[in-house]
Amino acid sequence: MNRKIATMILLVTAFASSWTSENKDPVNRHRHDDVCRTPECREMGIKLSHAIDRSKHPCDDFYGYVCKKWKQNNTIPPYLPSYGHVWLIREELAKRLQDILSNLTTSTRQAESLNDKIAMAYQSCMKEDSCQPEGEISRLRETLREFGIPKWPMIPGSNGTIDWKEIYRKIRVGADMSFIFTVNLLPHLFNTSQRAIYIQVSNFVPSSYQIYTA
């Protein structure tokens, strides 16, 4: 977990401990005691609390206090560079959305409401029987040719040559995809009143910042 998530866990734990101690005295209940009463909030509070290793002292081993139990109980998936509560929330959200979309039904072939349109779009994408693999492969090869890849797949040991720099240029300009490096115009790190050009390695997996601002 990164520092931002670790700090959030510590703050939530401190808040929960404070709430528990205050709640023991029903006479002095504060109006803020009603904070985080929803099932979703309580569920997340429990998950964050389970990540805390109370055998560690935060002043002596902050990382162990906040993250050690999380690492022990959660294996990093092979397709992710890191794993934390943000990724966990994203996965749960994706599963819930899939359940919702799978249960949407339409009574007519003509979409009338927004829900009908969403249901029809989702069902049309999921109907594998209606797909035409030959046509899809043909369109894929045509797209690759437009980007400078005349033959696909390329057989190992083939005498064919390609200019990867020209391919990258065409994909970057034509498809607005940057898979080697990114160029962004952002506020300057040391002077936010000015802008600076940042050239960075492209991330195949969204960063925490991209997730937070999505």
Per the model's pLDDT, the better-predicted residue between 66 and 201 turns out to be 66
Instruction: Calculate mean pLDDT across residues 163-173.
Output: 84
- For the chain, give the percent of residues with pLDDT over 90: 4
Give per-residue pLDDT as tens, 95-135: 888 888 888 876 666 656 777 778 877 877 777 655 566 77
Q: Return the minimum-mean-pLDDT range out of 20-24, 26-30, 96-100, 110-114.
A: 20-24
Residue 119 · residue 101 · CB < 8 Å: yes
What is the pTM for the complete model shown? Answer: 0.40
Give me the residue spans of the domains in the chain: 3-74, 92-130, 133-202
Per the model's pLDDT, the better-predicted residue between 204 and 158 turns out to be 158
> Where residue 59 falls among pLDDT bands split at 50, 70, 90?
very high
Task: Determine how β-strand 181-187 pairs with β-strand 195-201.
Answer: antiparallel
208: which residues sit within 8 A by CB, 6+ positions away?
2, 4, 5, 86
DSSP string for the chain: --HHHHHHHHHHHHHHHHHHHHHT-GGG--GGGGSS-SHHHHHHHHHHHHT--TTS-TTT-HHHHHHHHHHHH-PPPTT-S---HHHHHHHHHHHHHHHHHHH---SSSS--SHHHHHHHHHHHHH-GGG--HHHHHHHHHHHHHHTT--SSSPPTT------HHHHHHHHHHHS---SSEEEEEEE-SS-TTSEEEEEEEPPSS--HHHHHT-
- Find which of 7-16, 57-66, 193-202 is predicted with most confidence, using mean pLDDT: 57-66
120: which residues sit within 8 A by CB, 6+ positions away?
106, 111
Instruction: Calculate mean pLDDT across residues 158-162.
Output: 75
CA pseudo-torsion sign 49, 53, 58, 61? negative
pLDDT for position 197: 92
